[in-house]
Amino acid sequence: MGMSYMVGFGSKFPKKIHHRGSVIPSLDTHPQHVGCRDGDKFFKSDEPNPNVLTGAVVGGPAFDDSFQDSRSIITQSEPTTYINAPFVGVLAYLNKPTIT
């Protein structure tokens, strides 16, 4: 698909991730109180998240290599630690010092 599954990396990355802090607008643009269930209207919006969660790694493509940039498809659009942990482990391995 020619895209990155790390938010903010490259020119094509997920814009509608399943993350409350990224979905609800900041106080600068929406100073009104947002109650517990008031965020649903932002979650159900087709607009990209107003707050870019740079560096978050989402679930990625489905088994058929498709990716729908949709907050409601949690397995593809939610950033979680169990998704990020293997990625960080690989980077740590590649960065290990060589002992001679």
So which residues are the catalytic ones? 18, 69, 78
Could you give the 3-state DSSP secondary structure of residue 93?
Answer: helix
| Rg (the chain; Cα; Å) | 16
Token reading at 90? 């690989």
